[in-house]
């Protein structure tokens, strides 16, 4: 048999195995795994490299509208370009429904932005901000049936939060139509109270963003979201968990057999509240929600990753330029932290950080790394086994990884639309040298091809969606 491409000499790593094999690729799929393959139009030498499933980042914000005058730094082209630089082959951005907008209008708008502009494959999550009877009774069930099977809801932000009754209603639609709800768990009223109090006291610098959203605000909202999912009898994913108390709420729910899943992000492993305490507006670079915490919170997030409380590791890439009045240096943000755009970039650095800090320092093994960065995302969000593994019949979405390569992270390496990285100067060991999407090389040695092969993926519903959920590796 003649293959389109053979990858030779590499060490194949999946979420469960590690072995030496050649990989044969035809028509964008893996068709053979063997000790030795020959005869291909293209042969790629992966000697000394790890060959892993392409990264899947299931929490990404691209080209998302914000407050008046605020502009997100990455569109679909720049965001997926940076994703490929970091070894990712699929990203899951959010499709934000604005108040008064139908879900269908929101989907059409995001598809128009993405069409022909993606270096990776994408699958869209829905964000529900206006859960009218029509939205919940007609639009959302129809879109779930079309393959939009994950829904995000917010418990905070003026223009995005849902009332408790509406949260219950969305969870119930997800239960009945076999979708998964992702929850941003921070208590809106507590944040408003603390923000007003801090401003009254003249505490308006970016550092006080963290003080307006302390750990109890996240813990309480996490407990409430879990309780609502239990009442409705459905699963839920608590996203971007930042601290021990919230992590333990999720762990207790899992121990009780509830279908509650957890996610954390690089910023909660490496950054702390001290990063927001920088001169002038420098601290604004590190403003995100939930905010970075303290060293105990970092340890707790590692514990959650090691023990399976957190089954996915995502970037929560939400980029705003710093040297820009439409970004972190917005005029209103200089008056008060409440107006600083929430979010930091991280789509390209997610995998190198976890590899270096996790695998390299003995906190997790290679199989766990693959599970946390690819396989579990595919399984949880309905992309497996097409994505997230190396197996005959799967898409040839692969990252070739040099485990010995040392790189000092600089913004120039990342090729996103932002103008900074919060990880500037961080030394990491382990770096992607080639990213392949359905058998095509989209990144090699930091260079991105001009062609954009990315597709929008539609996903099946989740028949396992019930009160007692399945935890992944």
Whether residue 454 lies inside any domain: the answer is no
Output the pLDDT for position 465.
42
pLDDT in tens, 359-392: 999 999 999 999 999 999 999 999 999 999 999 9
**258 in any annotated domain:** yes
Question: What token pair was written down for 400?
Answer: 């070739």
What pLDDT is attached to residue 463? 59
**Cα–Cα distance, 62 to 390 (Å, whole number):** 28
- Residue 218: what pLDDT? 98
DSSP β-ladder status, 150-154 and 125-127: parallel
Q: In CATH, what number is assigned to the domain containing residue 77? A: 3.20.20.140
Task: List all residues 6 or more positions away from 29 whose beta carbon is below 8 Å from its beta carbon.
Answer: 393, 394, 395, 396, 438, 439
* Statement: residue 401 has pLDDT above 80: yes
Based on its alpha-carbon atoms, the radius of gyration of the chain, rounded to whole angstroms, reads 21
Q: Domain for residue 230, yes or no? A: yes
Mean pLDDT (the chain) is 96
Count of domains forming the chain? 1
**Is 78 within the bounds of a domain?**
yes
Inter-residue contact 79 to 317 (CB < 8 Å): yes
pLDDT over 50 (residue 343): yes
Q: Give yes or no for a contact between 432 and 447, defined as CB atoms under 8 angstroms apart.
A: no
Strand partners, 440: 437
pLDDT at res. 1: 83
pLDDT of residue 472: 55
Measured CA to CA, the distance from residue 337 to residue 349 in angstroms comes to: 26
SS (H, E, C) the chain: CCEEEEEECCEEECCCCEEECEEEEECCEEEEEECCCCCEEEEEECCCCEEEECEEEEEECCCCCCCCCCCCCCCHHHHHHHHHHCCEEEEEEEEECCCCCCHHHHHHHHHHHHCCCCCCEECCEEECCCCCHHHHHHHHHHHHHCCCCEEEEECCCCCCECCHHHHHHHHHHHHHHCCEEEEECCCHHHHHHHHHHHHHCCCCCCCHHHHCCCHHHHHHHHHHHHHHHHHHCCCEEECCCCCHHHHHHHHHHHHCCCCEEEEECCHHHHCCHHHHCCCCCHHHHHCCCCCCCCHHHHHHHHHHHHHCCEEEECCCECCCCCCCCCCCCCHHHHHCHHHCCCCECCCCCHHHHHHHHHHCCCCCCHHHHHHHHHHHHHHHCCCCCCCCCCCCCCECCEEEEEEEEEEECCHHHHCCCCCCCCCCCCEEEEEEEEEEECCEEEEECCEECCCCCCCECCCCCCCCCCCCCCCCC
> What is residue 473's predicted lDDT score, i.e. its pLDDT?
57
Only one residue has tokens 């009877």, namely 133
| Range 384-403 average pLDDT | 98
Q: Is the pTM higher than 0.75?
A: yes
Q: pLDDT tens-digit profile of 408-456?
A: 999 999 999 999 999 999 999 999 999 999 999 999 999 999 999 999 9
Please, what's the largest Cα pairwise distance for the chain? 74
Name the band, by pLDDT with cuts 50, 70 and 90, for residue 467: very low
pLDDT band for position 26 (50/70/90)?
A: very high
**Rounded percentage of the chain residues whose pLDDT exceeds 70:** 97
Angstrom distance (rounded) from CA 392 to CA 390: 7
Give the angle subtended at the CA of 343 by the CAs of 342 and 349, to the nearest 5°.
Answer: 170
| pLDDT of the residue at 38 | 93
CA dist., res. 176 & res. 97, Å (int)? 21
The answer to whether residue 451 is domain-embedded is no
Residue 176 lies in a domain: yes
What is the rounded average pLDDT of the residues 339-353?
A: 98
Q: Which residues of 287-306 are buried (b: 16+ CB within 10 A; e: fewer)?
A: bbbbbbbbeebbebbbbbbe
Per-residue confidence at 468, pLDDT binned at 50, 70, 90? very low
CB-CB contact of 436 with 449 (8 Å)? no
> What is the domain extent for residue 201?
54-359
Q: Kindly give the interhelix angle for 188-200 and 215-232, rounded to the nearest 10 degrees.
A: 160
Q: In the prediction, which pLDDT does 15 show?
A: 98
Tokens at 70, concatenated: 């605020």
Q: Is residue 201 domain-resident?
A: yes
Q: Is the pLDDT of residue 64 over 90?
A: yes
**pLDDT at position 230:** 98
CB atoms within 10 A of CB 105: 13
Burial category of 123 from C-beta neighbours within 10 Å (exposed 0-12, middle 13-18, buried 19 and up):
buried
Cα separation, 148 vs 125, in Å, equals 6
CA 432 to chain centre: 18
Does some domain include residue 385? no
Question: Cα–Cα distances in Å, from 156 out to 58, 159, 182, 410?
Answer: 21, 8, 14, 33
Q: How far apart are CA 296 and CA 419, in angstroms?
A: 30
């Amino acid at each position: 048999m003649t293959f389109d491409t053979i990858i030779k000499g590499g060490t194949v790593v999946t979420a469960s195995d590690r072995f030496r094999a050649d990989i044969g690729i035809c028509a964008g799929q893996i068709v053979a795994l063997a000790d030795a393959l020959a005869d291909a139009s293209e042969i790629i030498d992966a000697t000394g490299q790890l060959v892993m499933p392409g990264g899947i980042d299931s929490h990404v914000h691209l080209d998302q509208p914000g407050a008046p005058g605020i502009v997100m730094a990455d569109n679909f082209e720049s965001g997926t370009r940076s994703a490929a630089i970091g070894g990712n082959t699929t990203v899951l951005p959010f499709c934000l429904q604005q108040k008064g907008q139908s879900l269908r209008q929101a989907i059409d708008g995001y598809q128009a932005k993405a069409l022909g502009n993606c270096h990776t494959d994408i699958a869209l999550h829905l964000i529900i901000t206006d859960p009218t009877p029509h939205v919940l009774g007609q639009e959302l069930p129809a879109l779930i049936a079309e393959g939009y099977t994950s829904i995000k809801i917010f418990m905070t932000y003026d223009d995005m939060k849902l009332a408790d009754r509406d949260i219950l209603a969305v969870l119930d639609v997800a239960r009945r139509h076999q979708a998964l709800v992702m929850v941003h768990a921070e208590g809106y009223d507590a944040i408003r109270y603390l923000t007003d109090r801090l401003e009254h006291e003249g505490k308006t610098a970016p550092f006080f963003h963290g003080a307006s959203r302390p750990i109890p605000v996240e813990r309480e909202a996490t407990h409430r979201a879990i309780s609502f999912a239990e009442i409705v009898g459905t699963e839920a994913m608590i996203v971007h968990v930042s601290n021990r108390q919230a992590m333990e709420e999720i762990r207790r729910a899992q121990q009780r057999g509830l279908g509650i899943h957890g996610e954390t992000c690089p910023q909660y492993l490496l950054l702390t509240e001290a990063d927001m305490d920088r001169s002038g507006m420098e601290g604004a670079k590190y403003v995100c929600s939930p905010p970075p915490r303290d060293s105990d919170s970092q340890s707790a997030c590692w514990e959650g990753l090691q023990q399976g409380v957190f089954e996915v590791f995502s970037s929560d890439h939400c980029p705003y330029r710093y040297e820009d009045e439409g970004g972190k240096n917005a005029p209103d943000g200089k008056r008060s932290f409440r107006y600083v755009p929430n979010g930091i970039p991280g789509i390209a650095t997610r995998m190198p950080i976890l590899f270096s800090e996790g695998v390299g320092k003995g906190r997790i093994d290679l199989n766990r790394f693959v599970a946390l960065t690819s396989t579990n995302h595919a399984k949880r969000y309905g992309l497996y086994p097409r994505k997230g593994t190396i197996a005959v019949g799967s898409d040839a979405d692969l990252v070739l990884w040099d485990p010995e390569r040392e790189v000092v992270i600089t913004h120039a390496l990342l090729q996103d639309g932002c103008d900074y990285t919060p990880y500037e100067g961080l030394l990491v060991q382990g770096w992607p040298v080639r990213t392949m999407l359905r058998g095509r090389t989209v990144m090699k040695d930091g260079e991105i091809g001009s062609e954009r092969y990315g597709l929008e993926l539609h996903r099946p519903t989740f028949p396992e969606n019930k009160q007692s959920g399945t935890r992944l590796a």
